[in-house]
Structure 1
Amino acid sequence: MLHLGKAGVTLDDNPRFLLWLNYVDMYSGLRYRSFSDDQVLQLLQKSNSDEQLVALLQSLRKVPSRKASAEQMQIYLFEESAASRELLNAAWLQSRETPENVYKMLHLERARLNVGKLEENSKFLQWFKYTEMYWPPAERDVRTFNFLVEKYGKTNFHLAPLLQSLKQTSNLDNLGDNLQNFLFMTWLDKNFTPKFVQSQLALPWGTTIFKLPKNDVLYRALEEYTIYYTARRGKEDVQKIVNGLFANDMPDEALAAAMKLLH
Protein backbone atom coordinates (compact mmCIF):
# COMPACT_ATOMS: atom_id res chain seq x y z
CA MET A 1 0.00 0.00 0.00
CA LEU A 2 1.29 3.46 -0.89
CA HIS A 3 1.42 5.91 2.01
CA LEU A 4 1.90 9.46 0.78
CA GLY A 5 3.43 10.75 3.98
CA LYS A 6 3.30 14.44 4.79
CA ALA A 7 0.39 16.65 3.76
CA GLY A 8 2.43 18.70 1.29
CA VAL A 9 3.45 15.64 -0.70
CA THR A 10 4.34 15.95 -4.39
CA LEU A 11 5.44 13.48 -7.02
CA ASP A 12 9.04 14.43 -6.27
CA ASP A 13 8.51 13.00 -2.78
CA ASN A 14 7.07 9.77 -4.17
CA PRO A 15 8.80 8.72 -7.40
CA ARG A 16 7.42 5.21 -6.91
CA PHE A 17 3.89 6.49 -7.33
CA LEU A 18 4.29 7.07 -11.08
CA LEU A 19 5.82 3.61 -11.40
CA TRP A 20 2.80 2.20 -9.62
CA LEU A 21 0.44 4.06 -11.98
CA ASN A 22 2.36 2.64 -14.93
CA TYR A 23 1.74 -0.80 -13.48
CA VAL A 24 -1.97 0.03 -13.16
CA ASP A 25 -2.00 0.94 -16.87
CA MET A 26 -0.30 -2.33 -17.77
CA TYR A 27 -2.77 -4.28 -15.62
CA SER A 28 -5.75 -2.52 -17.18
CA GLY A 29 -4.40 -3.33 -20.62
CA LEU A 30 -4.59 -7.05 -19.98
CA ARG A 31 -7.56 -8.93 -21.35
CA TYR A 32 -10.51 -9.08 -18.95
CA ARG A 33 -8.70 -6.77 -16.51
CA SER A 34 -9.50 -3.19 -15.57
CA PHE A 35 -8.61 -0.70 -12.87
CA SER A 36 -10.42 2.61 -13.18
CA ASP A 37 -9.49 6.05 -11.84
CA ASP A 38 -12.26 5.63 -9.29
CA GLN A 39 -10.73 2.37 -8.08
CA VAL A 40 -7.29 3.97 -7.87
CA LEU A 41 -8.71 6.74 -5.70
CA GLN A 42 -10.60 4.31 -3.46
CA LEU A 43 -7.41 2.37 -2.88
CA LEU A 44 -5.46 5.52 -2.00
CA GLN A 45 -8.22 6.68 0.35
CA LYS A 46 -7.71 3.63 2.54
CA SER A 47 -4.35 4.85 3.82
CA ASN A 48 -4.18 8.59 3.07
CA SER A 49 -6.03 11.70 4.19
CA ASP A 50 -8.00 14.04 1.94
CA GLU A 51 -5.31 16.67 2.45
CA GLN A 52 -2.61 14.29 1.23
CA LEU A 53 -4.70 13.19 -1.75
CA VAL A 54 -5.51 16.75 -2.80
CA ALA A 55 -1.81 17.66 -2.76
CA LEU A 56 -0.84 14.57 -4.73
CA LEU A 57 -3.55 14.91 -7.37
CA GLN A 58 -2.72 18.57 -7.90
CA SER A 59 0.91 17.56 -8.39
CA LEU A 60 -0.13 14.74 -10.72
CA ARG A 61 -2.01 17.21 -12.93
CA LYS A 62 1.36 18.70 -13.91
CA VAL A 63 2.31 15.44 -15.65
CA PRO A 64 0.81 15.76 -19.18
CA SER A 65 0.14 12.04 -19.57
CA ARG A 66 -1.62 11.93 -16.18
CA LYS A 67 -3.51 15.24 -16.21
CA ALA A 68 -6.86 13.82 -17.38
CA SER A 69 -6.79 10.98 -14.84
CA ALA A 70 -5.76 13.32 -12.03
CA GLU A 71 -8.63 15.70 -12.79
CA GLN A 72 -11.08 12.80 -12.93
CA MET A 73 -9.88 11.59 -9.54
CA GLN A 74 -10.26 15.14 -8.19
CA ILE A 75 -13.91 15.03 -9.28
CA TYR A 76 -14.42 11.63 -7.64
CA LEU A 77 -12.84 12.95 -4.44
CA PHE A 78 -14.99 16.10 -4.61
CA GLU A 79 -18.16 14.02 -4.93
CA GLU A 80 -17.29 11.47 -2.25
CA SER A 81 -15.82 13.74 0.41
CA ALA A 82 -17.42 17.05 1.39
CA ALA A 83 -14.35 17.81 3.50
CA SER A 84 -12.15 17.75 0.38
CA ARG A 85 -13.97 20.60 -1.39
CA GLU A 86 -12.43 23.49 0.52
CA LEU A 87 -9.04 21.76 0.23
CA LEU A 88 -9.44 21.50 -3.54
CA ASN A 89 -10.43 25.16 -3.80
CA ALA A 90 -7.35 26.13 -1.79
CA ALA A 91 -5.09 23.95 -3.96
CA TRP A 92 -6.54 25.38 -7.17
CA LEU A 93 -6.12 28.90 -5.85
CA GLN A 94 -2.50 28.25 -4.93
CA SER A 95 -1.92 27.02 -8.50
CA ARG A 96 -3.80 30.10 -9.82
CA GLU A 97 -6.30 28.04 -11.74
CA THR A 98 -8.73 30.43 -13.41
CA PRO A 99 -12.45 30.19 -12.66
CA GLU A 100 -12.89 29.02 -16.25
CA ASN A 101 -10.47 26.12 -15.72
CA VAL A 102 -12.21 25.14 -12.48
CA TYR A 103 -15.58 25.41 -14.25
CA LYS A 104 -14.33 22.95 -16.87
CA MET A 105 -12.76 20.59 -14.33
CA LEU A 106 -16.07 20.41 -12.45
CA HIS A 107 -17.89 19.71 -15.75
CA LEU A 108 -20.34 22.52 -15.02
CA GLU A 109 -21.22 22.84 -18.69
CA ARG A 110 -23.24 19.66 -18.10
CA ALA A 111 -24.88 20.88 -14.89
CA ARG A 112 -28.54 21.75 -14.61
CA LEU A 113 -29.09 25.42 -13.87
CA ASN A 114 -32.67 25.06 -12.73
CA VAL A 115 -32.08 23.74 -9.22
CA GLY A 116 -34.41 24.28 -6.28
CA LYS A 117 -31.60 24.65 -3.79
CA LEU A 118 -28.02 25.42 -4.69
CA GLU A 119 -26.90 23.14 -1.84
CA GLU A 120 -28.09 20.26 -4.02
CA ASN A 121 -25.58 21.26 -6.68
CA SER A 122 -22.35 21.19 -4.72
CA LYS A 123 -20.19 21.75 -7.80
CA PHE A 124 -21.84 25.05 -8.71
CA LEU A 125 -21.82 26.09 -5.07
CA GLN A 126 -18.11 25.39 -4.78
CA TRP A 127 -17.40 27.19 -8.07
CA PHE A 128 -19.13 30.34 -6.81
CA LYS A 129 -17.03 30.13 -3.66
CA TYR A 130 -13.92 29.82 -5.81
CA THR A 131 -14.75 32.95 -7.81
CA GLU A 132 -14.94 34.86 -4.53
CA MET A 133 -11.50 33.56 -3.59
CA TYR A 134 -9.90 34.17 -6.99
CA TRP A 135 -11.05 37.56 -8.22
CA PRO A 136 -10.32 40.84 -6.36
CA PRO A 137 -13.29 41.99 -4.22
CA ALA A 138 -13.90 45.10 -6.34
CA GLU A 139 -14.15 43.03 -9.53
CA ARG A 140 -15.45 39.60 -8.60
CA ASP A 141 -19.21 40.19 -8.88
CA VAL A 142 -19.12 41.77 -12.32
CA ARG A 143 -16.51 39.30 -13.58
CA THR A 144 -18.54 36.36 -12.33
CA PHE A 145 -21.65 37.76 -14.01
CA ASN A 146 -19.80 38.40 -17.28
CA PHE A 147 -18.50 34.84 -17.21
CA LEU A 148 -22.03 33.46 -16.77
CA VAL A 149 -23.34 35.72 -19.53
CA GLU A 150 -20.62 34.45 -21.85
CA LYS A 151 -21.69 30.88 -21.08
CA TYR A 152 -25.47 31.29 -21.07
CA GLY A 153 -26.32 34.65 -22.63
CA LYS A 154 -27.86 37.79 -21.12
CA THR A 155 -31.39 36.66 -21.87
CA ASN A 156 -30.97 33.02 -20.88
CA PHE A 157 -33.77 32.71 -18.38
CA HIS A 158 -32.24 29.60 -16.84
CA LEU A 159 -29.85 31.96 -15.06
CA ALA A 160 -32.74 33.39 -13.03
CA PRO A 161 -33.37 30.32 -10.82
CA LEU A 162 -29.63 29.74 -10.43
CA LEU A 163 -29.03 33.27 -9.17
CA GLN A 164 -32.14 33.14 -6.99
CA SER A 165 -30.81 29.92 -5.46
CA LEU A 166 -27.49 31.66 -4.85
CA LYS A 167 -29.29 34.57 -3.21
CA GLN A 168 -30.99 32.12 -0.84
CA THR A 169 -27.68 30.44 0.08
CA SER A 170 -26.04 31.48 3.33
CA ASN A 171 -22.59 33.07 2.99
CA LEU A 172 -23.18 33.71 -0.72
CA ASP A 173 -26.37 35.76 -0.50
CA ASN A 174 -24.58 39.08 -1.16
CA LEU A 175 -23.02 37.66 -4.32
CA GLY A 176 -26.41 36.30 -5.38
CA ASP A 177 -28.09 39.65 -4.76
CA ASN A 178 -25.53 41.52 -6.85
CA LEU A 179 -25.59 39.02 -9.71
CA GLN A 180 -29.39 39.06 -9.74
CA ASN A 181 -29.36 42.86 -9.93
CA PHE A 182 -27.02 42.69 -12.93
CA LEU A 183 -29.39 40.24 -14.62
CA PHE A 184 -32.45 42.36 -13.86
CA MET A 185 -30.71 45.45 -15.24
CA THR A 186 -30.14 43.69 -18.56
CA TRP A 187 -33.79 42.62 -18.67
CA LEU A 188 -34.98 46.14 -17.89
CA ASP A 189 -32.70 47.58 -20.59
CA LYS A 190 -34.36 45.19 -23.05
CA ASN A 191 -37.82 46.30 -21.85
CA PHE A 192 -38.72 42.83 -20.58
CA THR A 193 -41.96 43.15 -18.64
CA PRO A 194 -42.81 40.89 -15.67
CA LYS A 195 -45.45 39.24 -17.87
CA PHE A 196 -42.87 38.42 -20.53
CA VAL A 197 -40.43 37.11 -17.92
CA GLN A 198 -43.23 34.97 -16.51
CA SER A 199 -43.82 33.40 -19.93
CA GLN A 200 -40.11 32.66 -20.39
CA LEU A 201 -39.62 31.18 -16.93
CA ALA A 202 -42.61 28.91 -17.58
CA LEU A 203 -40.84 27.18 -20.49
CA PRO A 204 -40.65 24.44 -21.61
CA TRP A 205 -43.62 22.92 -19.76
CA GLY A 206 -45.86 25.94 -19.37
CA THR A 207 -45.45 26.00 -15.61
CA THR A 208 -47.85 28.30 -13.76
CA ILE A 209 -45.18 30.09 -11.75
CA PHE A 210 -47.39 31.57 -9.05
CA LYS A 211 -48.99 28.17 -8.38
CA LEU A 212 -45.63 26.92 -7.15
CA PRO A 213 -44.68 27.11 -3.45
CA LYS A 214 -43.66 30.61 -2.38
CA ASN A 215 -40.12 29.47 -1.61
CA ASP A 216 -39.65 27.94 -5.07
CA VAL A 217 -36.83 29.71 -6.91
CA LEU A 218 -38.98 30.39 -10.00
CA TYR A 219 -41.72 31.95 -7.85
CA ARG A 220 -39.19 34.03 -5.94
CA ALA A 221 -37.32 35.13 -9.08
CA LEU A 222 -40.53 36.35 -10.75
CA GLU A 223 -41.63 38.09 -7.55
CA GLU A 224 -38.23 39.78 -7.20
CA TYR A 225 -38.25 40.97 -10.82
CA THR A 226 -41.82 42.27 -10.59
CA ILE A 227 -40.83 44.34 -7.54
CA TYR A 228 -37.59 45.47 -9.22
CA TYR A 229 -39.46 46.47 -12.39
CA THR A 230 -42.11 48.39 -10.45
CA ALA A 231 -39.54 50.23 -8.34
CA ARG A 232 -37.77 51.53 -11.44
CA ARG A 233 -40.70 52.09 -13.79
CA GLY A 234 -43.50 53.05 -11.44
CA LYS A 235 -44.44 55.62 -8.86
CA GLU A 236 -44.06 55.08 -5.14
CA ASP A 237 -47.78 54.41 -4.67
CA VAL A 238 -47.74 51.65 -7.31
CA GLN A 239 -44.70 50.10 -5.68
CA LYS A 240 -46.51 50.02 -2.33
CA ILE A 241 -49.53 48.36 -3.95
CA VAL A 242 -47.39 45.68 -5.61
CA ASN A 243 -45.44 44.99 -2.43
CA GLY A 244 -48.68 44.79 -0.44
CA LEU A 245 -50.28 42.34 -2.86
CA PHE A 246 -47.28 40.03 -2.69
CA ALA A 247 -47.29 40.28 1.10
CA ASN A 248 -50.95 39.22 1.10
CA ASP A 249 -50.37 36.21 -1.16
CA MET A 250 -51.94 37.84 -4.22
CA PRO A 251 -49.09 37.44 -6.75
CA ASP A 252 -51.24 37.45 -9.90
CA GLU A 253 -52.84 40.72 -8.82
CA ALA A 254 -49.38 42.13 -8.05
CA LEU A 255 -48.16 41.26 -11.54
CA ALA A 256 -51.30 42.77 -13.08
CA ALA A 257 -50.73 46.00 -11.12
CA ALA A 258 -47.15 46.15 -12.38
CA MET A 259 -48.31 45.62 -15.97
CA LYS A 260 -50.65 48.64 -15.72
CA LEU A 261 -47.50 50.77 -15.79
CA LEU A 262 -47.44 50.17 -19.55
CA HIS A 263 -50.70 52.07 -20.03
Structure 2
Amino acid sequence: MLDGIAYKLFLKWEVNPADIFQRLRSVRASGKLDDNKGFIQWLQYVNKYRAKRGGESWFADYKLVELLRKSKSDAELVTLFQSLRRYPAVKNLADEMQAYMILSSKSSRKIVNREWLKSGESPAQVFNILRLNKQTLSNNPLFIQWLRYTKLYRSKSGGEAFSDVDIFNFLSAETMIRSNRFGTLAESLKGFPDLKPLAKTLLAQLYQRWLKDGFSPLYIANYGMEPAVSKLKNTDPRFAYLKAYTEYYVRHHEKNDLLDIVKKVTTGKELETAIAVASKP
Protein backbone atom coordinates (compact mmCIF):
# COMPACT_ATOMS: atom_id res chain seq x y z
CA MET A 1 0.00 0.00 0.00
CA LEU A 2 0.98 3.62 -0.41
CA ASP A 3 1.52 5.65 2.72
CA GLY A 4 -0.42 8.87 3.06
CA ILE A 5 2.48 11.15 2.17
CA ALA A 6 3.41 9.22 -0.99
CA TYR A 7 -0.25 9.10 -2.05
CA LYS A 8 -0.62 12.88 -1.75
CA LEU A 9 2.68 13.55 -3.52
CA PHE A 10 1.85 11.26 -6.43
CA LEU A 11 -1.50 13.00 -6.82
CA LYS A 12 0.12 16.43 -6.60
CA TRP A 13 2.66 15.46 -9.25
CA GLU A 14 -0.08 13.79 -11.32
CA VAL A 15 1.83 10.53 -11.59
CA ASN A 16 0.25 8.15 -14.11
CA PRO A 17 -1.72 5.35 -12.37
CA ALA A 18 0.04 2.74 -14.52
CA ASP A 19 3.41 3.80 -13.10
CA ILE A 20 2.09 3.55 -9.55
CA PHE A 21 0.61 0.12 -10.24
CA GLN A 22 4.06 -1.16 -11.18
CA ARG A 23 5.38 0.04 -7.81
CA LEU A 24 2.78 -1.87 -5.81
CA ARG A 25 4.41 -5.26 -5.56
CA SER A 26 1.85 -6.57 -3.09
CA VAL A 27 -0.91 -5.80 -5.57
CA ARG A 28 0.80 -7.31 -8.59
CA ALA A 29 1.90 -10.39 -6.64
CA SER A 30 -1.51 -11.05 -5.14
CA GLY A 31 -3.65 -13.64 -6.83
CA LYS A 32 -6.79 -12.01 -5.49
CA LEU A 33 -7.57 -8.33 -5.96
CA ASP A 34 -11.14 -7.84 -4.80
CA ASP A 35 -10.16 -7.70 -1.10
CA ASN A 36 -6.65 -6.34 -1.61
CA LYS A 37 -6.43 -3.02 0.23
CA GLY A 38 -3.56 -1.83 -1.92
CA PHE A 39 -5.57 -2.45 -5.08
CA ILE A 40 -8.64 -0.67 -3.69
CA GLN A 41 -6.42 2.26 -2.77
CA TRP A 42 -4.97 2.28 -6.29
CA LEU A 43 -8.46 2.40 -7.82
CA GLN A 44 -9.31 5.33 -5.56
CA TYR A 45 -6.18 7.01 -6.87
CA VAL A 46 -7.39 6.43 -10.43
CA ASN A 47 -10.64 8.22 -9.56
CA LYS A 48 -8.83 11.19 -8.02
CA TYR A 49 -6.25 11.32 -10.81
CA ARG A 50 -9.01 11.53 -13.40
CA ALA A 51 -10.85 14.22 -11.45
CA LYS A 52 -7.67 16.27 -11.05
CA ARG A 53 -6.71 15.98 -14.72
CA GLY A 54 -10.19 16.88 -15.92
CA GLY A 55 -12.14 13.73 -16.75
CA GLU A 56 -12.32 10.03 -17.52
CA SER A 57 -10.27 10.40 -20.72
CA TRP A 58 -7.17 10.65 -18.53
CA PHE A 59 -6.15 7.05 -17.94
CA ALA A 60 -9.16 5.87 -19.92
CA ASP A 61 -11.14 2.72 -19.23
CA TYR A 62 -9.38 0.74 -21.94
CA LYS A 63 -5.98 1.53 -20.41
CA LEU A 64 -7.10 0.30 -17.01
CA VAL A 65 -8.55 -2.91 -18.44
CA GLU A 66 -5.53 -3.60 -20.64
CA LEU A 67 -3.23 -3.13 -17.66
CA LEU A 68 -5.17 -5.67 -15.62
CA ARG A 69 -5.45 -8.06 -18.56
CA LYS A 70 -1.71 -8.64 -18.32
CA SER A 71 -2.33 -10.81 -15.27
CA LYS A 72 -6.05 -11.62 -15.35
CA SER A 73 -8.38 -13.30 -17.83
CA ASP A 74 -11.57 -11.54 -18.93
CA ALA A 75 -13.60 -13.96 -16.82
CA GLU A 76 -11.53 -13.08 -13.76
CA LEU A 77 -11.81 -9.36 -14.48
CA VAL A 78 -15.59 -9.49 -14.83
CA THR A 79 -15.88 -11.32 -11.51
CA LEU A 80 -13.50 -8.79 -9.97
CA PHE A 81 -15.44 -5.75 -11.21
CA GLN A 82 -18.71 -7.23 -9.98
CA SER A 83 -17.26 -7.88 -6.52
CA LEU A 84 -15.80 -4.36 -6.34
CA ARG A 85 -19.29 -2.89 -6.49
CA ARG A 86 -19.61 -3.53 -2.76
CA TYR A 87 -17.01 -0.83 -2.06
CA PRO A 88 -18.73 2.59 -2.29
CA ALA A 89 -15.44 4.40 -2.94
CA VAL A 90 -14.79 2.53 -6.20
CA LYS A 91 -18.30 1.38 -7.16
CA ASN A 92 -18.55 3.96 -9.93
CA LEU A 93 -15.27 2.77 -11.44
CA ALA A 94 -16.36 -0.87 -11.21
CA ASP A 95 -19.54 -0.01 -13.09
CA GLU A 96 -17.55 1.81 -15.77
CA MET A 97 -15.35 -1.25 -16.21
CA GLN A 98 -18.36 -3.52 -16.62
CA ALA A 99 -19.79 -1.19 -19.25
CA TYR A 100 -16.44 -1.23 -21.05
CA MET A 101 -16.33 -5.03 -20.98
CA ILE A 102 -19.86 -5.22 -22.40
CA LEU A 103 -18.73 -3.35 -25.52
CA SER A 104 -15.15 -4.57 -25.84
CA SER A 105 -15.93 -7.95 -27.43
CA LYS A 106 -18.65 -10.54 -27.92
CA SER A 107 -16.87 -13.01 -25.65
CA SER A 108 -16.46 -10.55 -22.77
CA ARG A 109 -20.09 -9.49 -23.19
CA LYS A 110 -21.19 -13.08 -22.66
CA ILE A 111 -19.05 -13.29 -19.54
CA VAL A 112 -20.52 -10.08 -18.10
CA ASN A 113 -24.08 -11.21 -18.81
CA ARG A 114 -23.35 -14.57 -17.19
CA GLU A 115 -21.92 -12.87 -14.08
CA TRP A 116 -24.93 -10.56 -13.80
CA LEU A 117 -27.34 -13.47 -14.10
CA LYS A 118 -25.35 -15.40 -11.51
CA SER A 119 -25.50 -12.41 -9.15
CA GLY A 120 -29.22 -11.97 -9.77
CA GLU A 121 -28.90 -8.46 -11.15
CA SER A 122 -32.31 -7.32 -12.38
CA PRO A 123 -32.67 -5.33 -15.62
CA ALA A 124 -33.41 -2.26 -13.51
CA GLN A 125 -30.15 -2.73 -11.60
CA VAL A 126 -28.17 -3.31 -14.79
CA PHE A 127 -29.74 -0.16 -16.27
CA ASN A 128 -28.15 1.78 -13.42
CA ILE A 129 -24.84 -0.10 -13.60
CA LEU A 130 -24.56 0.99 -17.23
CA ARG A 131 -25.60 4.53 -16.23
CA LEU A 132 -28.27 4.54 -18.89
CA ASN A 133 -30.40 6.76 -16.67
CA LYS A 134 -27.85 9.50 -17.35
CA GLN A 135 -27.45 8.94 -21.09
CA THR A 136 -29.34 9.42 -24.31
CA LEU A 137 -30.81 6.04 -25.25
CA SER A 138 -31.09 6.57 -29.00
CA ASN A 139 -28.13 5.18 -30.97
CA ASN A 140 -26.61 3.94 -27.73
CA PRO A 141 -24.93 0.50 -28.01
CA LEU A 142 -25.14 0.00 -24.24
CA PHE A 143 -28.91 0.40 -24.41
CA ILE A 144 -29.12 -2.27 -27.12
CA GLN A 145 -27.10 -4.65 -24.97
CA TRP A 146 -29.31 -3.84 -21.99
CA LEU A 147 -32.39 -4.82 -23.97
CA ARG A 148 -30.73 -8.10 -24.89
CA TYR A 149 -29.88 -8.70 -21.25
CA THR A 150 -33.56 -8.34 -20.33
CA LYS A 151 -34.28 -11.26 -22.67
CA LEU A 152 -31.61 -13.39 -20.98
CA TYR A 153 -32.94 -12.43 -17.55
CA ARG A 154 -36.48 -13.28 -18.58
CA SER A 155 -35.42 -16.64 -19.95
CA LYS A 156 -33.58 -17.56 -16.76
CA SER A 157 -36.45 -16.36 -14.57
CA GLY A 158 -39.08 -18.47 -16.27
CA GLY A 159 -40.33 -16.28 -19.10
CA GLU A 160 -42.55 -13.91 -17.13
CA ALA A 161 -40.08 -11.56 -15.45
CA PHE A 162 -39.56 -8.14 -17.02
CA SER A 163 -41.84 -8.67 -20.00
CA ASP A 164 -41.93 -6.40 -23.05
CA VAL A 165 -44.76 -4.48 -21.40
CA ASP A 166 -42.65 -4.16 -18.24
CA ILE A 167 -39.85 -2.74 -20.40
CA PHE A 168 -42.28 -0.15 -21.75
CA ASN A 169 -43.45 0.82 -18.27
CA PHE A 170 -39.87 1.04 -17.03
CA LEU A 171 -38.67 3.14 -19.95
CA SER A 172 -41.71 5.40 -19.87
CA ALA A 173 -40.57 6.50 -16.42
CA GLU A 174 -37.13 7.30 -17.85
CA THR A 175 -38.31 9.02 -21.04
CA MET A 176 -40.97 11.67 -21.59
CA ILE A 177 -43.78 9.49 -22.85
CA ARG A 178 -45.69 12.28 -24.54
CA SER A 179 -42.70 13.47 -26.54
CA ASN A 180 -41.60 12.10 -29.87
CA ARG A 181 -38.35 10.83 -28.36
CA PHE A 182 -39.89 7.58 -27.19
CA GLY A 183 -41.48 6.96 -30.57
CA THR A 184 -38.18 7.55 -32.33
CA LEU A 185 -36.40 5.27 -29.88
CA ALA A 186 -38.89 2.42 -30.30
CA GLU A 187 -39.05 2.76 -34.09
CA SER A 188 -35.25 2.66 -34.37
CA LEU A 189 -35.18 -0.76 -32.68
CA LYS A 190 -36.74 -2.28 -35.80
CA GLY A 191 -33.28 -2.08 -37.31
CA PHE A 192 -32.18 -4.94 -35.04
CA PRO A 193 -33.82 -8.23 -36.14
CA ASP A 194 -33.76 -9.75 -32.65
CA LEU A 195 -35.39 -6.64 -31.16
CA LYS A 196 -38.03 -6.09 -33.84
CA PRO A 197 -40.82 -7.90 -31.90
CA LEU A 198 -39.99 -5.75 -28.86
CA ALA A 199 -40.13 -2.60 -31.00
CA LYS A 200 -43.64 -3.50 -32.16
CA THR A 201 -44.79 -4.08 -28.59
CA LEU A 202 -43.31 -0.80 -27.38
CA LEU A 203 -44.99 1.13 -30.19
CA ALA A 204 -48.33 -0.59 -29.59
CA GLN A 205 -48.13 0.31 -25.89
CA LEU A 206 -47.12 3.86 -26.77
CA TYR A 207 -50.07 4.35 -29.11
CA GLN A 208 -52.45 3.01 -26.47
CA ARG A 209 -51.00 5.39 -23.87
CA TRP A 210 -51.22 8.38 -26.19
CA LEU A 211 -54.82 7.55 -27.08
CA LYS A 212 -55.76 7.05 -23.43
CA ASP A 213 -54.21 10.42 -22.54
CA GLY A 214 -56.16 12.11 -25.33
CA PHE A 215 -53.17 13.01 -27.49
CA SER A 216 -54.12 13.51 -31.12
CA PRO A 217 -51.59 12.91 -33.91
CA LEU A 218 -51.40 16.70 -34.31
CA TYR A 219 -50.49 17.13 -30.64
CA ILE A 220 -47.69 14.58 -30.93
CA ALA A 221 -46.48 16.07 -34.22
CA ASN A 222 -46.29 19.54 -32.69
CA TYR A 223 -44.56 18.44 -29.48
CA GLY A 224 -40.98 19.51 -30.10
CA MET A 225 -40.81 18.08 -33.61
CA GLU A 226 -37.79 19.36 -35.52
CA PRO A 227 -37.75 19.54 -38.45
CA ALA A 228 -41.45 20.07 -39.12
CA VAL A 229 -43.46 17.05 -40.24
CA SER A 230 -43.65 18.39 -43.79
CA LYS A 231 -39.84 18.19 -43.98
CA LEU A 232 -39.58 14.56 -42.85
CA LYS A 233 -38.42 11.92 -45.30
CA ASN A 234 -40.36 8.68 -45.38
CA THR A 235 -37.21 6.86 -44.22
CA ASP A 236 -37.16 8.85 -40.98
CA PRO A 237 -38.25 6.86 -37.87
CA ARG A 238 -40.45 9.81 -36.89
CA PHE A 239 -42.29 9.60 -40.20
CA ALA A 240 -42.95 5.90 -39.59
CA TYR A 241 -44.41 6.18 -36.09
CA LEU A 242 -46.41 9.34 -36.84
CA LYS A 243 -48.01 7.67 -39.83
CA ALA A 244 -48.67 4.50 -37.82
CA TYR A 245 -50.19 6.43 -34.90
CA THR A 246 -52.36 8.49 -37.25
CA GLU A 247 -53.68 5.27 -38.75
CA TYR A 248 -54.23 3.84 -35.25
CA TYR A 249 -56.04 7.03 -34.20
CA VAL A 250 -58.27 6.99 -37.29
CA ARG A 251 -59.21 3.34 -36.72
CA HIS A 252 -60.08 3.95 -33.08
CA HIS A 253 -62.29 6.94 -33.90
CA GLU A 254 -63.87 5.03 -36.79
CA LYS A 255 -62.94 7.64 -39.38
CA ASN A 256 -62.93 4.96 -42.03
CA ASP A 257 -63.08 7.45 -44.90
CA LEU A 258 -59.61 8.68 -43.90
CA LEU A 259 -58.00 5.28 -43.50
CA ASP A 260 -57.05 4.81 -47.15
CA ILE A 261 -55.73 8.37 -47.32
CA VAL A 262 -53.40 7.77 -44.38
CA LYS A 263 -52.21 4.44 -45.76
CA LYS A 264 -51.22 6.03 -49.07
CA VAL A 265 -49.13 8.78 -47.47
CA THR A 266 -45.56 8.75 -48.82
CA THR A 267 -44.20 12.26 -48.21
CA GLY A 268 -43.84 14.59 -45.27
CA LYS A 269 -46.23 17.09 -46.80
CA GLU A 270 -48.89 14.42 -47.30
CA LEU A 271 -48.39 13.21 -43.73
CA GLU A 272 -48.77 16.74 -42.37
CA THR A 273 -52.10 17.10 -44.18
CA ALA A 274 -53.32 13.66 -43.08
CA ILE A 275 -52.45 14.40 -39.45
CA ALA A 276 -54.31 17.71 -39.52
CA VAL A 277 -57.45 16.16 -41.03
CA ALA A 278 -57.39 13.07 -38.78
CA SER A 279 -57.00 15.19 -35.64
CA LYS A 280 -60.12 17.25 -36.23
CA PRO A 281 -62.94 16.53 -33.73
TM-score of the pair, normalised by structure 2: 0.71
Q: Which SS does the other structure have where 2:180 is aligned?
A: coil
CA contact (8 A) 2:180 2:224 kept: yes
Whether 1:233 aligns to 2:256 is no
Q: Which SS does the other structure have where 1:245 is aligned?
A: coil
Counterparts in 2 of 1:95-244, with a 5 A limit? 95-113=119-137, 115=138, 120-135=139-154, 137-138=159-160, 140-202=163-225, 206-244=226-264
Cα distance in 2 for partners of 1:112, 1:93 equals 25
CA contact (8 A) 2:44 2:90 kept: no
The change in CA–CA distance for 1:196 and 1:222 in structure 2 (over 3 A counts) is same
Identity of aligned residues (%): 31
Shift of 1:109: 1.7
Deviates more, 1:182-191 or 1:147-156: 147-156
The change in CA–CA distance for 1:45 and 1:249 in structure 2 (over 3 A counts) is farther
CA contact (8 A) 1:37 1:69 kept: no
Unmatched 5+ stretches in structure 1 = 1-12
CA contact (8 A) 1:157 1:200 kept: yes
Cα distance in 2 for partners of 1:93, 1:255 equals 45
The change in CA–CA distance for 1:256 and 1:41 in structure 2 (over 3 A counts) is same
Instruction: State the structure with bigger RCO (CA 8 A, min sep 6), 1 or 2.
Output: 1
CA contact (8 A) 1:245 1:253 kept: no
What's 1:3 paired with? none
Unmatched 5+ stretches in structure 2 = 1-29
Counterparts in 2 of 1:52-71, with a 5 A limit? 52-62=76-86, 66-71=90-95
TM-score of the pair, normalised by structure 1: 0.76
Cα distance in 2 for partners of 1:246, 1:237 equals 18
Q: 2:97 aligns with which of 59, 70, 73?
A: 73
Q: How many residues align?
A: 240
